[in-house]
Amino acid sequence: MGIVEAAHNVKVVGSGAETIVLAHGFGTDQSVWKHLVPHIVDDYRVILFDNMGAGTTNPDYFDFDRYATLEGYAFDVIAILTELQVQSCIYVGHSVSAMIGSIASISRPDLFTKLILVSGSPRYLNDVDYFGGFEQEDLDQLFEAMQSNFKAWCAGFAPLAVGGDMDSVAVQEFSRTLFNMRPDIALSVAKIIFMSDLRHLLCHVTIPCHIIQSMKDLAVPVVVSEYLHRNIGSESIVEVMSTDGHLPQLSSPDVVIPVLLRHIRNNIVV
């Protein structure tokens, strides 16, 4: 196993002519895809990995300068694909990894045949003629809460992000992976994500994009999916699911897995 693979806990499972890369979002790790993987391993080679900073990675490897922008994570994706000698892949990115994959595809379009963007947002802050869902004051309070008592913040944030029943397995699972992050790393990553503005990059995406979104999502208002659809440079399609929460693949797999499989297997018909 190469250095990059080891650092990111890369796992390669399944077999098939096509490769699928599954990339997780903030506060989770590759286990967030556990409901999807069994459905695709018979037909695809599947690559799972952990973003640097996830609780499952070595915190000593987290370079605060490298990960001061999302480009650092995009370079990691390219490095993983390069080390595994992947010629092209279907990339499924959740939350911040939707945007990370978009950035990576701009740098190396040859590595991607399709981007499936789940609960992604190019900007979380509201702006003139743009609704991202948060005011600066909201984010300041969020960062302050993380800094003052990380454990208490995790316990409060997890059910809000996941949605639905506070005692659900999905909420417990997200609470666990979120609290596994080192608090200073979690705060740094949260600030980079929530303060990012990638709207100017969307027009440079040339890979077909399948945009998948929950009807109700604390972090990403449903109008953001339409914004992505209108502004992404490539052909794109939007599907809004009747799910609640920012991690629908964990909280509503019965609804989400068939949707993901359909977008993985079918291309956009122009």
Which residues are catalytically annotated? 95, 217, 246
Structure tokens given for 84? 């595994």
Task: Compute the distance between CA of residue 48 and CA of residue 30 in angstroms, rounded to an integer.
Answer: 6
Residues contacting 63, CB < 8 A, separation 6+: 52, 72
Which phi-psi region, left, alpha or beta, contains residue 85 (left: φ > 0; alpha: ψ -120 to 50)? left
Q: Which amino acid is at 215?
A: M
How are beta strands 11-13 and 44-48 bridged, if at all?
antiparallel
What phi-psi label fits residue 211: left (phi over 0), alpha (psi between -120 and 50 degrees) or beta?
beta
Q: What is the DSSP string of 151-198?
A: HHHHHHHHHHHH-S-TTSHHHHHHHHHHHTS-HHHHHHHHHHHHT-B-
203 contact partners, CB below 8 Å, separation of at least 6:
231, 232, 233
- ∠ CA 167-98-123, nearest 5°, is 90
Q: Residue 65: CB partners within 8 Å, gap ≥ 6?
A: none
- Helix (H, G, I), strand (E, B), or coil: what is residue 23? strand
Which candidate, 49, 37, 116, places its Cα nearest to that of 86?
A: 49
Quickly tell me which residue has 């590595």 as its tokens.
Answer: 111
